[in-house]
Amino acid sequence: MKNSKLSVIAAVLSTVVLLTACSGNGNSNTGGNTNTGKSSNEASSNSTTTNNSQQSVDIDPFGKYDPPITIDVAKASSANMRFGDGEDINNNVWQREYEERLGIKLNYVFASVFEGGAYDQKLNLSIASGDLPDIFQVNAQQLKQLVAAGQVEDLTEVFDQYTSEYTKSLYEDAGDSALLSATFEGKLYAIPALASSLDTAPVMYVRKDWREKLGLPEPKTMQDVIAMAEAFTNGDPDGNGVKDTYGIAFTKDAVVGTGFADLQGFMNGYHAYLNTWIEDASGNLVYGPIQPEVKQALQQLQDLYKAGAIDREFATKDMTKVGEDLSKIGIQFGQMWNPIMPMQGSVLSNPGSDWEPFSIVSIDDKPALASVVAPVVKYLVVRKGYEHPEAAIKINNLTYENLQGPNADYEKFGTNLDGQEGLHYTLMIAEPPLKNNTIYLKVNEALKTGDDSKLNSEMKITLGDITAYNNGDMNKWAGAKIFGPDSSQAVLNQYQLDGRIMPNSFYGGATDSMADKNASLEKLMVEVFTKIIMGDSIDNFDKFVEDWKKLGGDTITQEVNEWRAGLKG
């Protein structure tokens, strides 16, 4: 039976609204609900309410505005977004759907690409000038800034009233961090766009052809991984008679993490967590990279480097370069998408090579927990004073319902069988937190039964890729390695079943000291950790911890715990 954390959060937020209304000091714009002293269930039983413009609308998650309303909006879009013939940002399947179903016309003030920071630059100028769209997309730091400046609407009540039951269930699946990340002093100021936290968990990829050639068992412990790395280095797994292979791959960005050939999965095997705030024994939040378990992992990495199991030039190589070197590498820790890039290209250019995904493993008898980030990457906010804040909630409902709800038409609104991704045309791309996990489960059930009648278009494309790979098409290798029976998603699914997840316990916008000090502290960490791996004294870790604390880390830790206390209070 589900733990209804979302219901608890909604109840807390609703209580704040009720107390404010009863005190006579309420100033929240709720889209005109005249029953602010009632619970959401009582309010929903009323057929109509009056908003600030005196327009009568239903308290309905999909209520249509008649006459239609036009909303000035802004979003970050992908440089790879492709429109159909004759379509553009203001003329596409989603624009028509918003108008036909909701009576909403979206007018894009700007829809800049997020690559290179173009969107953030434009939005930051709008924030500074106070000339904001009615509804727009922000990141966590921008949200914090807007709330502090009083530039966005309190959405507590309209979220409670207008969010559909299906959408509420998705926020419940995401856990309490999703809504709490948009909550300030008990009030909800943004709609979180859900993403998959599970998809960020590290996966260990091993060269299957090398492992089988050298007669090595599947790795069950970190000791197995270390032995395998040494064998891949010294055992001539590529059979060319030259010692030119490496056990484990890392990039120059391995410490901060890019999701490919980074340190997180290795560290997790030692119960160490980079870029993660965790609870200590007393229940306080502490920064993962300064904990003693990190020192033990760094010592092992130094030993592997000295033994030649790590490329001596790793600190100069980016993701692209390491991807080009994969034919000479036996193990790498990355995320679930790695088979697409860069592994697919390596497999095609090196016939006979193959990689297999494994769970991270532990150095001792304590299970290794996989680090994951919060299930929110962006937010939708409403300009302070806009008369239809509930419109943002309705748009969010329609996005989830059309893409993944019980009556979803994914081929029309998501990805069609030709691979065109209409989901990019939404005001804010948002996916159920377990979307890819669901694809994995349903596609593999269809593989077993031969019945694909319950699959949407995206699932059918995935099933087709796996089937094609099973029939010898190596161009579809990546699809099979992500969603097939022995895939990265199979690994993530097992993490979930086993409860082997370590979430980042800090999911708010950067604190004041973080904004000022994080860049220099991160640079220090990268420099010290990299040099230790390459041979500096392991005791430099202790010096790093002292310096981190003195140079702002202690203040950041205090602010993080104050943030957490504010959530509880």
Distance CA 548, CA 521 (A): 6
Integer Rg of the chain from CA: 25
**In which band, very low, low, confident or very high, does the pLDDT at 567 lie, cut at 50, 70 and 90?**
confident
What is the pLDDT confidence band of residue 441, given thresholds at 50, 70 and 90?
very high
The CA-CA-CA angle for residues 224, 229, 234, to 5°, reads: 125
Interior angle at CA 46, CA 42 and CA 50, nearest 5: 115
Integer angstrom CA distances of residue 534 from 81, 222, 313 = 42, 20, 10
Cα 44–Cα 41–Cα 388 angle in degrees, nearest 5: 45
State how far the Cα of 166 lies from the Cα of 395, in Å rounded to an integer.
Answer: 14
Q: How far apart, in Å, are the Cα atoms of 439 and each of 173, 409, 433, 495, 539? A: 16, 15, 12, 16, 47
Two tokens, residue 288: 């993962």
Mean pLDDT of 134-154: 94
Instruction: Please say whether the beta carbons of 276 and 502 come within 8 A.
Output: yes
Q: Which fold has domain 5-196+375-425?
A: D-Maltodextrin-Binding Protein; domain 2 (3.40.190)
Q: Which positions ≥6 away from 195 have C-beta within 8 Å?
A: 375, 376, 377, 430, 431, 433
Band (185; pLDDT cuts 50, 70, 90): confident
Model confidence over 297-334: pLDDT tens digits? 999 999 999 999 999 999 999 999 999 999 999 999 99
pLDDT-derived band at 177, boundaries 50, 70, 90: confident
| pLDDT 10s digits, 493-547 | 999 999 999 999 998 878 899 989 999 999 999 999 999 999 999 999 999 999 9
Is 80 a residue whose pLDDT tops 80?
A: no
Which CATH code fits 200-368+527-563? 3.40.190.10
Q: What is the mean pLDDT of residues 116-128?
A: 89
Mind listing the pLDDT tens digit for each residue in 216-227?
999 999 999 999
pTM: 0.83
CATH 3.40.190.10 intervals, the chain: 5-196+375-425, 200-368+527-563
For the stretch 354-405, pLDDT in tens is 999 999 999 999 999 999 998 887 999 999 999 999 999 999 999 999 988 8
Q: How would you classify residue 278: left for phi > 0, otherwise alpha for psi between -120 and 50, otherwise beta? A: beta
- HEC profile for 511-545? CHHHHHHHHHHHHHHHHHHHHHHCCCCCCHHHHHH
In whole angstroms, what separates CA 376 from the centre of its chain? 6
Burial of 25 (0-12, 13-18, 19+ CB in 10 A): exposed
Q: What are phi and psi of 243, to 5 degrees?
A: -85, 85
Distance from C-alpha of 215 to C-alpha of 235, rounded to nearest angstrom: 11
